[in-house]
A and B are shown apart, each in its own frame.
Chain A
Amino acid sequence: MTGRQNLQGNQACALAAIAAGCRFFGGYPITPSSEIAERMSHELPRAGGVFIQMEDEIASMAAVIGASMGGVKAMTATSGPGFSLKQENLGYAAMTEVPCVIVNVMRGGPSTGMPTRPAQGDIMQSRWGTHGDHPIIVLTPCSVKEIYDQTIRAFNLSEVLRTPVVVLYDETIGHLVETVDLPDPASVGRAHRKWATGPREDYLPYADTGDGIPAMALPGDGYRCHTTGLTHGESGFPTQKPDEVAALMQRLLGKLDQHRAIVDQFETLHADDADVLVVAIGITARAAHRAVQQARQHGVRAGLFRPVTLWPFPEQAFRDHAARASKVLVAEMNAGQLSLEIERLCASPGKVARLTRVTGQPIGPAEILASIEDLAGHGRI
């Protein structure tokens, strides 16, 4: 499918995965992400891949990792409750450095919450959902076209950096239908993980090769390696020796830092001279975009900082922009999760204001505009 399309966000996600080279999908039905699995069940067999609906969310995450351990690019998609269930195996993928992509279409929570209503309540779960310190990349698109682009980017980052990548967007974006121009899938840049080559006796599956990303052994290629979620040495076998544990954890926790140039991504609008800097993601960022434009028309120097890579947060870029603003407004559809990170990054917490909502309704441009003008000392009557 190429050219101009009237496309839903979740459908775009599935088409992008195919274009990126995904050939395995393990899924489980959950609102509001099910269209991704449905589309994958249609597309994958035609692309020579495998779709399977597993018995539960846990199994679908496990099957995805199993397929990727076999050398096939793999993805799953879910929403909050399912994302919670996937966390243990997501941590396994982070620890064993098996590439995989997890899409989380956010709905109202906690618990079963509001399955058909949008929310942005998994910002912290996407970063810290699994136990223990671990690297993870979270990408957060705000349009149908960006879902397509960021899903492809998720596969490429996952392959190159050998880490699970989460594509995180709210229900509104997932069910949004927009006109997009899809590229010819053959023209899509596809990255692949670094495979082990050379003699077996020289190969260490978790060696620090300088760039922090070890080459992966393909089963069948003769390396006959061991993969374990236990803390392991460079050989891949379990260890509890403090120096070997330290070496693994240092490489694991530092490996994304080495590659921030390709990991970090953000978008700004009028942020260079902003007096009030708005931070938002997903559908809230779309509303904030409009509010910033309106504020400018009213003579208020407002700006927008939108992280596209949510985790690791593009800290340096944000600090640079925030330093020039007198106030920072975080608008988000949760009780203040992104605000915590923004308050951490701003020198003085009093500089940060929150506009939050947990009612299952999007935050509109007018509300964000009102908050901007309040902060700028232009309170409306």
Chain B
Amino acid sequence: MDAFSLDTFDIRDYLREELLPHFMCPGCGHGIALRALLWAVHERAIPKDRLAVVCGIGCSGRVGAYIDANTFHTTHGRPLAFATGLALARPDLEVVVITGDGDCLAIGGNHLIHACRRNLNLTCLMLNNEIYGMTGGQVSPTTGEGRLTSTTPQGNAEPTFDACALAAAAGASFVGRGMTLQTAALKDLISEGLAHQGFAFIEVISDCTEIFGRKNDLGSSPEIILRQKGSMRPDTYGNVVDQPFRARAVRTGVLSRSDRPEYGAAYRAALPDSAAP
């Protein structure tokens, strides 16, 4: 990794500036996640022409449009399936998927577990803001227990999904979690994910100040993020810290990694001799 990449990284080189200002609410963490992704792309020297970003639907789904690359805003929950076709057809492209907690874990849950199992060379960023923000703040699979949303007026009675544990159990060969407060660490994580040959699943702890924060009286965005920090346990740290609304402290960093064969390469290696290009 290039320790001086920040010196040469200008996010405007990677943005469609004509689309600015962006649509994200004040305090939303998705813009920081976008910055970390583009910083990592810069660090890995991935040419914009070769970068393909496939998004689903929701707030996370709208992030990709700001990237000056080949961008695809697909259907709800399906970006991993679209990306699977694109990456298999075009192994020369660097395919990144941006999805959200609802997009990836609820309507797209089946695609996630099979993408993990298949181990195709994709980097999947799941921006977790604990809510369906675009539709007005309904409960999502990662909404904390007890939380108020527009569809849990008495408080959420469902336990949350641990997306990283799910991805690892389903066979993802690279699983990591980062948070928007630690942008440089998040960049490092995404950069490692991009370099990884296989399916890299990265959960980004984002935040929804305007809808989720307001509904649950969580205060300003810095307050929310600092509270998140208190519940996080970077891989290098010690003890678990218990926090309300989180069953256990949440680990960040690279959570698991293996070097099992990448699907596309394995498929091509198994081709009959007559198929040699």
With a cutoff of 8 Å between Cβ atoms, the chain A residues found around residue B275 in the complex are 45-48
**Does B65 lie within 8 Å of A74, measured CB to CB?**
no
Q: How far is the CB of A369 from chain B (nearest CB, A)?
A: 48
**Does A92 lie within 8 Å of B89, measured CB to CB?**
no
**Does A71 lie within 8 Å of B48, measured CB to CB?**
no
| Candidates A45, A54, A66, A230; contact of B73 at CB < 8 Å | A230
**Does A65 lie within 8 Å of B85, measured CB to CB?**
yes
With a cutoff of 8 Å between Cβ atoms, the chain B residues found around residue A337 in the complex are none
B81, CB-defined interface residue at 8 Å: yes
**Does A67 lie within 8 Å of B89, measured CB to CB?**
yes
B93, CB-defined interface residue at 8 Å: yes
| Candidates B19, B74, B90; contact of A220 at CB < 8 Å | B90
**Does A220 lie within 8 Å of B85, measured CB to CB?**
no
* Interface residues as binary, B6-25 with A (CB distance below 8 Å gives 1, 0 otherwise): 00000000001001000000
**Does A55 lie within 8 Å of B70, measured CB to CB?**
no
| Candidates A47, A52, A92, A222; contact of B75 at CB < 8 Å | A92
**Does A227 lie within 8 Å of B71, measured CB to CB?**
yes
Per the bound structure, the CA–CA distance linking A68 and B82 in Å amounts to 10
Contacting residues of chain B (46-75) with chain A, CB-CB under 8 angstroms: 48-50, 52, 54, 64-65, 68-75
**Does B75 lie within 8 Å of A62, measured CB to CB?**
yes
Q: How far is the CB of A92 from chain B (nearest CB, A)?
A: 5
A254, CB-defined interface residue at 8 Å: no
With a cutoff of 8 Å between Cβ atoms, the chain B residues found around residue A50 in the complex are 88-89, 267
Closest to B65 in A: A226
CB within 8 Å for A66 and B65 given contacts A225-B70, A228-B73, A230-B73: no
Per the bound structure, the CA–CA distance linking A107 and B272 in Å amounts to 35
With a cutoff of 8 Å between Cβ atoms, the chain B residues found around residue A228 in the complex are 65, 72-73
With a cutoff of 8 Å between Cβ atoms, the chain B residues found around residue A23 in the complex are 89
With a cutoff of 8 Å between Cβ atoms, the chain B residues found around residue A64 in the complex are 85
Q: How far is the CB of A63 from chain B (nearest CB, A)?
A: 3
11 interchain pairs, CB-CB under 8 A: A50-B89, A52-B85, A59-B78, A63-B81, A69-B86, A70-B85, A70-B90, A72-B89, A219-B86, A221-B49, A228-B73
Q: Knowing that A55-B110, A70-B90 are A-B contacts, what are 10 other residue pairs whose CB atoms are under 8 Å apart, sorted by A's residue number?
A: A23-B89, A24-B88, A45-B270, A46-B274, A47-B275, A52-B85, A56-B110, A63-B85, A224-B70, A228-B65
Query: Taking beta carbons and an 8 Å cutoff, which residues of B are in contact with A?
Result: 16, 19, 48-50, 52, 54, 64-65, 68-75, 78, 81-90, 92-93, 110-111, 113-114, 267, 270-272, 274-275, 277
